[in-house]
Copies of this chain bind each other. A is one copy, B any other.
Amino acid sequence: MSRWAPDARERLEAAALDLFVENGYEETTVAQIAERAGLNRATFFRHFTDKREVLFGGEDVLAGLFADAIAAAPDETVTGCLRAAFTAADAAMTPRQRAKAAKRVLVVAGNSELQERGLLKHARIARSVSAALRTRGADELTARLGAEVGMLAFTIAVERWMKATDDEPFSHFAAAALDDLRERAAELDSLSRFSA
C-alpha cells in the first residue's frame, strides 16, 4: 500500500460499488473506479486483480478465517467449531463492510455471471469448512452436513445483519441463526413447524 493512501483499498471498494450501482457492473471500467477514488489504475491493481475481485475478494479472506478458526476451536463439536468460525468472521464483517453489503447484493443480483461466480465462491468456502471439520475428526457426512448448515446459518446471519440498526457483532447474528437451524433440524420429522 502506498504511503500517501493508507485507506486506498477501502476507497477503491467504495468507489467501485457506487459506480456499479450507478452505471452498471459491465459498464464500469477500472479507470473510472480509480478516478472516482482519486487514485490511479496502478494502485487499483496493487489491491485487486480485476473489478470482479472487488465484489468477491472477501470470500477468500472468509474461507481462510473459517479454516484457521475451526482448526484452533477449543470446543471440538461441529457446532463449537462453527461458532469459532463465526467469531473469527467478525474481523471481516465490520460495520464499515455492512454499509457496503447492500450495494454488493444489489450489483450481484442484477448480473447472472456474478451470481454464478458468487455461488462458486460460496461452494469453495463450504468445501474449506468441510475439510477443516474433517481434519478435526468429523466423518465425511458429518463434515459435509456441518459445512452446509454452517453456510446456511452464515447466509441467514448476513441477511439479518444487513438489516440491523446497531453495531452488534456479526458473530451474534451467526450464532443465533445457527441455534435457529439446530432447533429446526431436530424437528424435520415432526409437524410442529407446519401451520397446516
Contact = CB atoms under 8 A, between A and B. Distances in A.
Interface of A: 76-79, 112, 115-117, 119-120, 122-123, 136-139, 141-142, 144-146, 148-149, 152, 156, 180-182, 184-191, 193-196
The oligomer's copy count stands at: 2
A76 B193 CA distance: 11
B185 A145 contact: yes
Contacts of A148: 148-149, 152
Contact of A186 (B119, B181, B184, B186): B186
A182 B190 CA distance: 12
A79 B184 CA distance: 12
Nearest to A152: B148
